[in-house]
């Protein structure tokens, strides 16, 4: 086992760097990840997906630290099947959960603190996402949900021209102003009680495995990982990353996100470690 790799931890963006266009982990990248781990490398991931969806995608790939799932709102340890929620809608049942808008073509799903997904209202876009992302779910009613058990509210719209923000403002009133709304896909708007800080995410992932800030490398391709990039000892983005990410990164790969950026970086780590062994 190589000590150079063993002393560091790589936190990689799963959704935008490790997955192919079909939503699966390409075999070549799976092989590189296994090689990295076999040489002593420590790897974990950041994903918008639920823990069960991430586990299905990774298959036999094992993570060396808690993964940041559900958009960084849940630190999940797959080895023990336990999670640490970093936010919740506690006390907001009446103000938010029971007042969510109802409209044709609007699907609503909840990501829960136990790692499960509950669907309050199905739509074509929501159904497509659930299938593509390998996400198991349970149909539920907002009246049966406790705010303390909810991490995020996912709003899927079938039509791009749907006035989603005005719908939310009308349904939630002043409560809408206290929520963080993020457009993470053209047909998906995510609501959280507020932003989860990079420090909170770092503390949930690194101290439990004895990793200091200078030993963390963040390989990112989404702005939700920006604060983590600033905290880490090293940060990497693909060649085609957004300008904001490229400016914040210490290193940019030669390849784009969909042509091997993650594989390039991980393989170079293995080669570099073996050269100095």
CATH number of the domain enclosing 46: 3.40.50.1000
- The pLDDT tens digits of the residues spanning 195-213 come to 999 999 999 999 999 999 9
Q: What is the pTM of this model?
A: 0.95
Of 137, 166, 192, the residue at which a domain comes to its end is 192
| Chain centroid to CA 179 | 19
Q: What is the dihedral of CA 268, 269, 273, 276, to 10 degrees?
A: 50
Residue 91 maps to a domain? no
Same domain, 214 and 246: yes
Same domain, 102 and 175: yes
Of 192, 208, 237, the residue at which a domain comes to its end is 192
The pLDDT value given to residue 273: 85
The pLDDT value given to residue 21: 86
Same domain, 73 and 209: yes
Tell me, what CATH number does 147's domain have? 3.30.1240.10
The pLDDT value given to residue 23: 87
Same domain, 68 and 112: no
Same domain, 200 and 168: no
Total domain count, the chain: 2
- The pLDDT tens digits of the residues spanning 128-140 come to 999 999 899 999 9
Query: Do 17 and 236 contact (CB within 8 A), yes or no?
Result: no
- The pLDDT tens digits of the residues spanning 37-83 come to 999 999 999 999 999 999 999 998 999 999 999 999 999 999 999 99
Same domain, 82 and 200: yes
* Helix 261-275 × helix 27-38 angle, to 10°: 30
The pLDDT value given to residue 276: 77
What is the rounded average pLDDT of the residues 132-150? 95
Same domain, 202 and 81: yes
| Enclosing domain of residue 207 | 3-86+196-275
Same domain, 185 and 206: no
Of 192, 225, 243, the residue at which a domain comes to its end is 192
């Amino acid at each position: 086992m190589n000590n150079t790799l063993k002393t560091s931890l790589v936190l990689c963006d799963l959704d935008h760097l490790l997955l192919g266009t079909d939503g699966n982990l390409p075999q070549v990248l799976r092989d590189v990840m296994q090689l990295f781990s076999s040489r002593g490398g420590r790897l974990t991931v950041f994903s918008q997906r639920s823990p069960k969806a991430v586990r299905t995608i990774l298959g036999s790939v094992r993570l060396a630290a808690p993964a940041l799932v559900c958009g960084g709102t849940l630190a999940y340890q797959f080895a023990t099947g336990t999670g640490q929620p970093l936010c919740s809608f506690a006390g907001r049942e009446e103000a938010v959960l029971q007042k969510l808008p109802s409209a044709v073509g609007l699907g609503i799903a909840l990501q829960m603190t136990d790692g499960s997904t509950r669907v309050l209202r199905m739509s074509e876009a929501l159904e497509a996402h659930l299938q593509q992302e390998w996400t198991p779910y349970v149909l539920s009613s907002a009246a049966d949900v406790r705010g303390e058990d909810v991490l995020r509210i996912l709003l899927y719209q079938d039509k791009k021209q749907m006035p989603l923000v005005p719908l939310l403002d009308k349904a939630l009133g002043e409560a809408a102003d206290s929520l963080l709304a993020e457009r993470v896909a053209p047909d998906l708007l995510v609501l959280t009680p507020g932003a989860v800080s990079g420090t909170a995410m770092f503390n949930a992932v690194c101290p439990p495995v004895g990793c200091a800030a200078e030993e963390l490398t963040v390989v990112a391709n989404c702005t939700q990982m920006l604060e983590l990039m600033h905290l880490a000892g090293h940060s990497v983005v693909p060649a085609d990353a957004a300008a904001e990410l490229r400016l914040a990164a210490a290193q940019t790969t030669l390849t784009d996100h969909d042509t091997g950026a993650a594989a390039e970086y991980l393989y170079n780590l293995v080669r570099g470690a073996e050269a100095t062994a």
